[in-house]
Structure 1
């Protein structure tokens, strides 16, 4: 039988069914390979992308849920900074602090013999500003001066205290001579301003 003489009707019924099924399977495979497989791959890629996006959204929601807590923390820290800046004078307020130390010494009936500001020592957000103070007066007056300094609204540390007594009989108001270092702490505004800009 030549190929030109081949007719489907001449084949037995079972062969026709098998041939039809073979062609149908081949066409189904071709359509699946070129059309549906691409769609399935695209669908799988989209599902993977959706999972990644859902994970990102969940992470963003977790961060967003903590946002009020972070805002509260920032507000609390800003409040604390404002509170601390009231006890740390700014550089503009240092003459007031110096004047206050002099006034406290005078109000305590001490004679100021020497009052010498020393070079500042930079720290993270503040600087130490030591001031060498030499006074004369009674022991009680010296105690009142230290008490006034301890109750002052700004932080002032007094250290390196040296006390010498005078001989009795000279002047009752001046029985001791004291030398100390009064260190105040000055808020470095420019450090904070440049730090918040980053």
Structure 2
């Protein structure tokens, strides 16, 4: 019985010459050789696949290790930003309140004539004589309008200083530019300057711009 099994086993390898292996004739190989070849091929592919997979994972691991300091620095920086967020929010609120406060110092469109009357009364109370106080065409800026006012007055140096001080103390923002002082024959001075006040752009300005 054992001898018969040995003969059957050899039959699976009959006709195969290990010294004369030709892969182009693999289809004619005995079944035993085919099975062995398939097993060897499967093991080789599995080993190669695992090697490539491990190599790729090793490369990724080394890349992560190289990036670790940079990632830690980014996390630290973002943590600092997050921890400082309440302070930034408080500062932003302060700026918003300051902006609203400044807006209240910008005259509305209907308040401009009243501002001119204030400036005129201020000059007269300082002892000045007006030759001219005239509102010039508005100049548009980013979110506000510049309202130039040309002023020409006569009087003493002291009166002009008092007038300039009074303009700066007005509740509305008024800036002074382009001073010129010219002595007169009677000993007085002529002062020519441009004052500017500012008006916040409102919805009516946008409507007028759209209509144009």
TM-score, structure 2 length as denominator?
0.51
Matches within 5 A, 1:147-158: 147-153=165-171, 154-158=173-177
**How many Å apart are 1:157 and its aligned residue?**
0.9
Matches within 5 A, 1:38-187: 40=54, 59=74, 62-63=77-78, 65-67=80-82, 68=85, 70-71=88-89, 74-75=92-93, 77-78=95-96, 81-82=99-100, 84-85=102-103, 89=106, 92=109, 93-123=111-141, 128-153=146-171, 154-165=173-184, 167=186, 176=188, 178-186=190-198
- Name stretches of at least 5 consecutive residues in structure 2 with no aligned partner: 1-6, 14-32, 207-212
- Name stretches of at least 5 consecutive residues in structure 1 with no aligned partner: 8-18, 168-174
The more displaced of 136-145 and 76-85 is 76-85
**How many Å apart are 1:81 and its aligned residue?**
3.9
Computing the radius of gyration from Cα coordinates, the structure with the larger value is: 2
Q: Distance in 2 between matches of 1:146 and 1:33?
A: 90
DSSP-derived class of the 2:168 partner: helix
Q: Considering only aligned residues, what root-mean-square deviation do their CA atoms show, in Å?
A: 4.8
**How many Å apart are 1:76 and its aligned residue?**
5.4
Q: Distance in 1 between matches of 2:95 and 2:185?
A: 51
Q: Distance in 1 between matches of 2:62 and 2:93?
A: 40
**How many Å apart are 1:132 and its aligned residue?**
1.7
Q: Distance in 2 between matches of 1:188 and 1:79?
A: 16
Q: Distance in 1 between matches of 2:182 and 2:168?
A: 18
The structure whose RCO (Cα within 8 Å, separation 6+) is larger is 1
